[in-house]
Copies of this chain bind each other. A is one copy, B any other.
Amino acid sequence: MDMTLSLSTQVIEPWHNLQENTPLVQCITNTVVQSFTANILLAAGASPAMVDIPGESADFARVASGLLINLGTINVSHQLSIPEAAHAAFEAGTPWVLDPVAIGALKTRTRIAHELLQYRPTAIRGNASEIIALAGGEGGRGTDATASVEAAAESATQLAREYGSVVAVSGPVDLITDGETSIECANGHEILTRVTGAGCSLGACVAAYLSTHENPLIATAAAHATFEVAAEKAQAKSQGPGTFAVNLLDELSLLTADSLQESVKISQR
């Protein structure tokens, strides 16, 4: 991490790179949020590819700019395609993100999440309960976090050090760590919890940003900052969760380096 530049300045470069390079982001994600996730990626400047079937997912993971694996609704097809894709990404050096949705009490996804750690995700994104459960602790209630970000800090550091991953814990103030350096992102808005797929599509943005900077910590922070600055701008012109989700797509596509730098609230922890 370049200590001579402020963090707010450092997250602009990944944003620029993404606009220029339109990274191809493979998503094996739950069927609830596929559409919103694809639209978020398009609005953010990336190119989504929902290539999620066995027999194709590994080949695509070798050539994609980034890969998201999200465990929200791991149907029969996804249970086959997910390990194939993670393995291929690991071997090919494709950066990939693990989003361990609702692990903890739910057995199948918890087992799969732990098995996937052998392929050393470049980044892991979840709420506090999910991160704690992935590190071996107790999970939450469905997709709701029942623990605070602070309570997940130790689990995040542990996972980051053990698997060489950047770990991002979503909450009112997000915590992003590589096990040595930790960053806080204080943008975002409570209304993000009232829209399905907000966290899931943030995970997809992380997968998009990982190809934009050599340091995955900065790339992950940039994904959070851009997504959440856009969310703040969207909230300011919305009447409720319906208009908010629509405006979030608009605002993501309208972001500029200046508006981003002006609004981002990011700091070393």
Contacts of A59-94 to chain B: CB distance below 8 A = 59-60, 63, 72-77
- A250 interface contact, C-beta 8 A: yes
Could you tell me which residues of chain A, from 35 to 68, have a CB within 8 Å of some CB in chain B?
35-36, 38-39, 42-43, 47-53, 55-56, 59-60, 63
How far is it, in angstroms, between the C-alpha of A48 and the C-alpha of B32 when the chains are bound? 11
| B254 & A142 in contact (Cβ 8 Å cutoff) | no
Q: Is A176 an interface residue (CB 8 A)?
A: no
Does A114 count as interface, using CB distance less than 8 angstroms?
no
**In whole angstroms, what is the CA distance A195 to B142 when docked?**
28
Which residues of chain B have C-beta atoms less than 8 A from A247's C-beta?
Answer: 242-243
Within the complex, the shortest CB–CB distance from A164 to chain B, in Å, comes to: 28
**Copies, count:** 3
A152 interface hit (Cβ, 8 Å): no
Taken together as a complex, chains A and B put the C-alpha atoms of A243 and B33 apart, in Å, by: 18
Decide yes or no whether A269 CB sits under 8 A from chain B: no
Which of B24, B53, B77, B245 meets A142, CB within 8 Å?
B24
Q: Say yes or no: A39-B245 contact (C-beta < 8 A), given A31-B34, A51-B106.
A: yes
| Interface residue from B49, B63, B76, B254 paired with A102 (Cβ < 8 Å) | B49
Who on chain B is nearest to A29 by CB? B32
Given contacts A31-B31, A106-B56, contact A72 B50 (CB under 8 A): yes
Interface residue from B35, B43, B142, B248 paired with A35 (Cβ < 8 Å): B35
B249 touches A240 (CB 8 A): yes
* Chain B residue, CB-CB nearest to A141: B24
CA distance A248 to B74 in the complex (A): 30
- Give Cα A124 to B241, complex, Å: 28
A16 at the interface (CB under 8 A from B): no
